[in-house]
Amino acid sequence: MPLSQNDILMSRNCTSLFLWCVPLIVCVAPMSLAVEKPNIIVIMADDVGYGDLGVLGAKGVETPHLDKLALEGRRFVNGYCSAATCTPTRFSLLTGMHAFRQRGTGIAPPNAPAIIKPGTVTMPAVLRNAGYKTAVVGKWHLGLGNPPKPDWNGELKPGPLELGFDYCFIYPSTNDRVPSVYVENHRVRNLDPNDPLDVRGQELSNPWPDVPTGVTHRDTLKMDWSNGHNQTIHNGIGRIGWALGGKNALWRDEDLATTLTEKCGEWIKANKNAPFFLFYASPNVHVPRMPHERFQGKSSMSYRGDSLVELDWCVGNILETLREENVLENTLVIFTSDNGPVLDDGYKDGAVEKLGDHKPSGILRGGKYSPYEGGTRIPFFAYWKGKIVPGISEEIMNTIDLPATLAALVGERVPEGAFPDSFALNDELLGISGAKGRPFNINEASMRFGFRKDHWKIVSPPNAGQTPGRNDRARYELFNLAADPSETTDLAKQDPERVKTMFEELQKHLVPFGR
């Protein structure tokens, strides 16, 4: 049932009586006035591309659960994440703000302190104010603790709990970066105080010369590296960065996705009676791809394909939990990815050699790290059994829109100035007739940008510096995505007026830049 006007007014009036950041216990609508607030699960896969799933044309791998989710839900074929790498997309997913507006939002190193500034309004905080129980399970990669670095043996705060999550069960960085541990709420899980965890930056040489590294003991590795990833060895795999101790807390790569999925299930069961918001930040299919033994060899594409099979199992398992707990029909599930695909991202795992006919980006150009479409146009599905009419949307949608979209969906006010780059696309998400997507799209790839309006797109040149493209409009490329979805033909010289107009509009969006 949609929100009634009274419900909306009550929510707004009530909220305005209090400081927004104070938990609004008395403001939660009483049950008799409850608006429909579906449970919400956002599943963000890692490095999964536009062509990586069966429903998107994948070859050599089957993903039946994700295909079902897509086919029985709404598929956004013009769905994007906001950046071509992990940290900035996740920053924007939680804050509704482009990462380029804040310095230090590039790929976070192992010892990164919390990147999202305290006091920033976040998506989970707004949903919590709307009466939701909130949790994040999986990859964090947005830093923990105060500068200069996390207190790994003490309290890890600020972190997810200070940003609107009631519960977190995360790994701090990426699975190829140390430390290979879980953080549950404010603590490293299973850490033995007699064996403290010491984490050092990746820029240093080995702080413990007697300890084997991916260079000194390369022949002992169970997965060899192709570049970088040769510092601390854990589980027979070289990592980025240095870590020592905390042995009891270390996870095994093969168990990562299963453990996290089980944790999602536990949390769903414990919170099924409240409206809940779960952000499942899946480790699949980021390197090192080391799926559980039961998935190894289940595709023809080596561990990258097997990791897609594992991802599919995880999603199927979560949906099965919803079914078993009788909350499937009251749960909106959104599936997306944090950036486009990559084959060799630092390990020799056969992804290149075993690719076969598979096209991870589908027809799109580029992948992870790229300002072309394959860098940020990704699988994007919304499924809500009995509510979302199955179909395909060609409207533009971006993961940065989820904060405003989900706030609007549950009828919760967004504080003024919050979610500055986020459009409320809730009608479009649900497929309500006549609804529109976002009017333009900006995608970020390190210091390069793509800017799309309708079917036209400009791409900034490489090495554009801190104010990308401001002085070198002549080097921008122009593509007609309707006629040339693979961005093969640069039309900039044929249509300089269009480049000029779009360039000037992009510049307005980039201000303020580099705060």
In whole angstroms, how close is the CB of 410 to Ca ion at the nearest point? Answer: 28
Distance of CA 273 to the CA centre of its chain: 26
In whole angstroms, how close is the CB of 351 to Ca ion at the nearest point? Answer: 15
Dist CA 481 CA 458 (whole Å): 10
174 in Cβ contact with 286 (< 8 Å): yes
Check residue 175 and report its DSSP letter. T
Query: Which amino acid would we find at residue 512?
Result: P
Specify the residue, 339 or 399, whose C-beta has the smaller distance to Ca ion: 339
> Site map for Ca ion, 79-98, x if CB under 5 A?
-------x------------
Dist CA 147 CA 192 (whole Å): 24
Specify the residue, 275 or 288, whose C-beta has the smaller distance to Ca ion: 288
Specify the residue, 63 or 339, whose C-beta has the smaller distance to Ca ion: 339
Check residue 119 and report its DSSP letter. T
For 425, residues 6+ apart whose C-beta sits below 8 A from its C-beta are 395, 397, 401, 404, 405, 435, 436, 437, 438
> Before 148, cis peptide (omega within 30)?
yes
Specify the residue, 287 or 309, whose C-beta has the smaller distance to Ca ion: 287
Q: Which of 115, 78, 87, 146 is nearest to 453 (CA)?
A: 78
Specify the residue, 141 or 263, whose C-beta has the smaller distance to Ca ion: 141
Q: Which of residues 129-148 bind Ca ion (CB under 5 A)?
A: none
In whole angstroms, how close is the CB of 63 to Ca ion at the nearest point? Answer: 18
Stretch that binds Ca ion, among 182-190, 198-206, 332-340, 495-503 (CB under 5 A): 332-340
In whole angstroms, how close is the CB of 87 to Ca ion at the nearest point? Answer: 9
In whole angstroms, how close is the CB of 337 to Ca ion at the nearest point? Answer: 7
Residue from the set 338, 345, 401, 477 that interacts with Ca ion by CB under 5 A: 338
Specify the residue, 265 or 374, whose C-beta has the smaller distance to Ca ion: 374
> How crowded is residue 215: how many other Cβ atoms within 10 Å of its Cβ?
12
Angle between helices 86-95 and 402-409 (to 10 degrees): 30
In whole angstroms, how close is the CB of 1 to Ca ion at the nearest point? Answer: 37
In whole angstroms, how close is the CB of 256 to Ca ion at the nearest point? Answer: 15
Query: Total binding residues for Ca ion by CB under 5 A?
Result: 5
In whole angstroms, how close is the CB of 102 to Ca ion at the nearest point? Answer: 19
Partners of 449 in the β-ladder? 444
> Site map for Ca ion, 99-128, x if CB under 5 A?
------------------------------
168 in Cβ contact with 137 (< 8 Å): yes
Structure tokens at 249: 């807390």
Specify the residue, 138 or 431, whose C-beta has the smaller distance to Ca ion: 138
For 436, residues 6+ apart whose C-beta sits below 8 A from its C-beta are 395, 425, 428
Task: Determine if 460 is a binding residue for Ca ion (CB under 5 A).
Answer: no
Dist CA 108 CA 143 (whole Å): 7
124 in Cβ contact with 164 (< 8 Å): yes
Specify the residue, 82 or 426, whose C-beta has the smaller distance to Ca ion: 82
Q: Which of residues 10-69 bind Ca ion (CB under 5 A)?
A: 46-47
Dist CA 336 CA 1 (whole Å): 26
Pairing of β 167-171 and β 133-139: parallel
Pairing of β 237-238 and β 187-188: unpaired
> Before 288, cis peptide (omega within 30)?
yes
In whole angstroms, how close is the CB of 174 to Ca ion at the nearest point? Answer: 8
Q: Which of residues 352-371 bind Ca ion (CB under 5 A)?
A: none
Pairing of β 39-45 and β 276-281: parallel
Specify the residue, 338 or 428, whose C-beta has the smaller distance to Ca ion: 338
Residue from the set 15, 331, 339, 370 that interacts with Ca ion by CB under 5 A: 339
In whole angstroms, how close is the CB of 134 to Ca ion at the nearest point? Answer: 22
Q: Which of 428, 351, 446 is nearest to 391 (CA)?
A: 428
Q: Which of 49, 62, 96 is nearest to 415 (CA)?
A: 96
Shortest Cβ contact with Ca ion: which residue? 86
In whole angstroms, how close is the CB of 338 to Ca ion at the nearest point? Answer: 4
For 152, residues 6+ apart whose C-beta sits below 8 A from its C-beta are 179, 188, 191, 196, 197, 198, 199, 246
> Site map for Ca ion, 228-267, x if CB under 5 A?
----------------------------------------
Specify the residue, 86 or 408, whose C-beta has the smaller distance to Ca ion: 86
> How crowded is residue 28: how many other Cβ atoms within 10 Å of its Cβ?
19
Dist CA 401 CA 266 (whole Å): 28
Specify the residue, 129 or 175, whose C-beta has the smaller distance to Ca ion: 175
Stretch that binds Ca ion, among 158-166, 289-297, 333-341, 409-417 (CB under 5 A): 333-341
Specify the residue, 380 or 503, whose C-beta has the smaller distance to Ca ion: 380
In whole angstroms, how close is the CB of 345 to Ca ion at the nearest point? Answer: 9
Which residues are at the interface with Ca ion (CB under 5 A)? 46-47, 86, 338-339
